[in-house]
Structure 1
Amino acid sequence: MAAQIREHRTRAGMSVTELADVVGYSKASMSRFETCDSPVPEELCPKLDAAFGTNGLFTALFEMLRGVRFPDRYLEYMSLENDAFGLREWAGFRIPGLLQTPAYARAVFREADRGATEEEIEARVAARMDRRAIFDKDPSPYFAAILDESVLRRWIGGPIVMAEQLAALLPMMDHEYGTARVLPLCRGEFGLSEATQIVIELEDGTSLIYVEGSASGQILEDPDVVTMRKRTYDRVSAYALTPRESAAMIRAAIKEYEACTQSPI
């Protein structure tokens, strides 16, 4: 919901202070809502709908998100992610959640839970998009990602969704708050087997590791394990392509997906 508030406020040409005055909240509170530092209260939603003329959008979104359920391990990780000074992610199966487009995330959730309703899927997509609010903090956390090349080749949502998703990655290759790079398939012996491993760096200097498989996830805190996992990530990083080389590989993959969408002559 944070991303929706920010998007509609910007579209309306309002500052945080101006919106705060309209809905009767402090500027500090509105800033926290937009950066996910505080949950959006239910009573604020109809005021947002009135301010933006969104005809019940925020009220409906709150009701959908009320029903979203995350396993405790994900809630714990998201809390740490929100407080992180830096995040370094290995993505061996899918595009990192923080870099996903809505269409890609929608396809991921739909495949993961075939019985979910469209409202449930949309609530999960909105929750995932809201995670990007951490980049609006000042200072924002440093985020570095290394993607296995197979992530670029694995069709999720079809060629149009994939082309859009990969195009959205290009500005992230080397940006103000981090990098994204690709580990080519020809460099296969690197020591990471999980679908996801994230090094979480907190402001006090503490590091934790979050690892996730297809149906499990856990926070690792043992200092020896954390050190070993960080070194393994560093090895992967050493074998990854540069941001420029990664961008070239991604552009080539985009062309392949675009070719798949063209009608035969």
Structure 2
Amino acid sequence: MTLRTFVSALGVVLAVLLTAVAVPAAWVDQTIVQETGFVRLAGALGSDPEFQSQLATAAVGTFESSVSLPGPIQNLAADALRNAASGMQSWSDYPQAWEETVRNSHRLNFTAGSQPEESAATTALLLDVGPLVRLIRDHFATATGIRLDVPSESLVSLGEPSHRQLIERVAAFAPLWWIAAVGAGVSALLALAVARRRSVVLVWIGLGGLALAALWTAAGNLAGGMIGKLSSANGVAELFKQEFLTAARTGFGEWIVIAAVASGALLVAGVIAWLVSGRQRSRSAQA
């Protein structure tokens, strides 16, 4: 094996290994750590009927526990709250309140120093249903003519204390995906630059990308299964976890498909280039 062949092979191996890290880290950063991506991913959960129902029940329960209703209007209040629990998702201002819930929850869990001190040591993930509680307050005021004060935050626990460390590590390391991505690009270019037959490098990079697509799929299913087995604090937390995992698998699956298509294209290009160069070498030898 010549030095050029060794360096080229090393470049291909490094490119594949660094890509194996860069792509999942980039997806986590763009989709979960970054607020815009998290809102896009988790925001869709607000349209799930079963989740809506449990979320509305939890918000109504939080509202009832956070206010003191005068005795004469308790019956009227009970009717208004039952309507909220069964039909809150049909209110025109519900989507905006749910989006604000997701944004507030992301800030609490992924922004350093934003989690309340009394809850920071007791839970890994928090869902702030405060916007939904305020939404119930506003509709309650419309129905009864009584406007009540509610807390600015109404937190629902999602997870266990041990989960917090995982979230902090993800938030710290995922944004560094670009370092691995740059390394993968440089390694691939180095492999192409020193290779005697660049078509072979393209073939191996394409094969490596397809192998990574299969590995990411298997790893995603394994991680999803492990996270799915973790206990949650309550019914709302459990349903949120399951629905979020489903959305995450679908979202990352789209990235895997794109990576597989790109890898397949490199493989085909490499094979075609190899065949063409082989014919040219054969004609040169005959001449």
User: Which category describes the TM-score, using the shorter chain as reference length?
Assistant: under 0.3
Select the structure that is richer in strand: 1
**Larger Cα Rg: Structure 1 or Structure 2?**
2
Q: TM-score, normalised by structure 1?
A: 0.21
- For CA contacts below 8 A with separation 6 or more, give which structure has more relative contact order: 2
TM-score (norm 2): 0.20
Higher normalized helix content (fraction of residues): 2
